[in-house]
Amino acid sequence: MTAATRPPRTAARTRQGTGRAACHHGEILQGVFLDERRRPVHALVTLPVDGPGSTARFTQHPGASPDEVTVVPAGRDKARTAAVLALRECAAHHGPEPYGGELTLTGNLPIGLGMGSSTSDVIATVRAVADSCGVLLPPVTIARIAVRAEGASDPLMHGARPLLFAQREGRVLETLGSALPPAVVVGCALGGGAPVDTLSLPTRPYDDDLAAYAHLRRMLRRAVTDADTALLGRVSTASARLRQRVLRHEEFPALTRIADRTGAAGVQIAHSGNVAGLLYDPRTPGLRHRLRRCARALAAEGITPTRTFTTAASPTTEEYTWTNTSRKPSAART
């Protein structure tokens, strides 16, 4: 798909644009998978969450070079890079000549927890720049720009569909279906909610894990097809266990104990951060009681509950507020 030019707008509106992007709640599955050419590729399936996100506003300054972009607040270097790349991309299409300008970012995403905060900033930025140029950029183009700006990217530009996404290449390896199985997720923050420097994490050879990840990929494909929440939980828990060889969360054993005691389908973590969740089937008898027991058990273990949300239409659940909303620079996803 290629970019398209929107119908002409008034001159006053062609110089300003807005964009928004959602976040996610870590991953259901992340590892190394064989692509269509049988090459091992790092890829992931994210757990979407409505609500928090980034909003960008880009105002072009006539006469400014496309490389002259300032960002408010300062320090959002990835978003600034994305704005410059987006301006260059838009210049190749039939819109008015793009100029540099000012990018303003707002949002309520915690940084460094593994919720895709930097990707949300970048995608919102690209959409705002394109909007200011009167150009519609397709998701594949936004993904390419995001990877160039960040080094790796989450698949937020593609919406909430469950995708196996090669985060370092910005491409979809497999569309698993239209939606994840229904689940109620009790979110929490591990490590005291401290950000994780992804680049400081050790790397591991994945050759021995290829068969395990291929099996989990097949299981997740079946879970999505059958809307099987129990199988979804098995996949996310197995993936989280594999990732513990790198992250080594001290609270992970407590998470799995609480999941077992409260009848959760499984646990999930951000594979490059400290956000985690316990997944429940919304059809489980006594769900609200189980959710309250879960929140109390987490607090008793010194783990902060953050937010309860759903992957699909299901009973409304109590929501918590984010407890770590600091905006500290985060490293690229591994």
Domain boundaries, the chain: 4-173, 176-310
Q: What is the pLDDT of residue 109?
A: 76
Residues 222-237, mean pLDDT to the nearest whole number: 97
88 or 207, which is more confident?
88
Q: What is the pLDDT of residue 274?
A: 86
Q: What is the pLDDT of residue 124?
A: 97
Tell me: pLDDT of 326 over 60. Answer: no
Tell me: pLDDT of 87 over 70. Answer: yes
Q: 280 and 260 in contact (C-beta within 8 Å)?
A: no
Q: What is the pLDDT of residue 247?
A: 78
CA angle, corner 183, sides to 181 and 186, nearest 5? 150
Query: What are the respective helix, strand and coil percentages of the chain, to the nearest 5?
Result: 35, 25, 40
Pick the CATH number of 176-310 from 3.30.70.890, 3.20.20.70, 2.40.128.260, 3.30.300.30: 3.30.70.890
Q: Which residue in 230, 249, 228 sits closest to 240, CA to CA?
A: 249
Q: What is the pLDDT of residue 140?
A: 96
Bond prior to 205 in cis (omega within 30° of 0): no
Q: Is the domain defined by 4-173 classed in CATH 3.40.50.620? A: no
Least confident of 58-72, 80-94, 98-112: 98-112
